[in-house]
Structure 1
Amino acid sequence: MNTFLAYINEHIEIIYIVILSIFLGIEVIGRVPSVLHTPLMSGANAIHGVVIIGAIIVMGEVEPDDIVALIIGFLAVVLGTLNVVGGFVVTDRMLEMFKKKK
């Protein structure tokens, strides 16, 4: 527990930046009009594809006894994949709305 608290005290500035960027991202995404949703979702899918590749590379470089890094890397791969798949599903559903009905 002491090592965890020491780590937090050592990296408190980075933790503040991450928390502030989370709030900023929520505000920016919440104000996007629905017309721009499809192009932005395509960009987000591309970014999360890069996240998945990065997580796989990091997991390959981690030592086998570093369980925490492996778990975080695995979660990054799983959550990134879910986000990409969900984004494509939402984009597909939105594009279906613009097709002519038979």
Structure 2
Amino acid sequence: MLPAVVTATGGTLPILMNGGVRQGSDIVKALALGAKAVLVGRPQFHALAAAGIAGAAHMLHLLRTELELAMIQTGVQNVRFLCNDHVGRRLTRDIVNF
């Protein structure tokens, strides 16, 4: 639904994606599909509940590392340069036609 929302707003509103983020590649996909920011509250809450502040910090470190690895795999050095072409065309088409 993210590409459809971005198209419907005509790029006039910043789109924040919330929900379903479990790994760094999820963040790359969301940003490539038009989100301006990605919220990661639930994983952070779970890590905090399981291991306190150290657990939350560790989870954020893991998420950032996964994000960096996903960026390396796309060949993009900055999230500002992510676009639909960095997400499989089939995935984008299936999401829009869902």
TM-score by length of 2: 0.31
Q: Name which structure has the greater RCO, CA cutoff 8 Å, separation 6+.
A: 2
Computing the radius of gyration from Cα coordinates, the structure with the larger value is: 1
TM-score by length of 1: 0.30
More helix per residue: 1
More strand per residue: 2
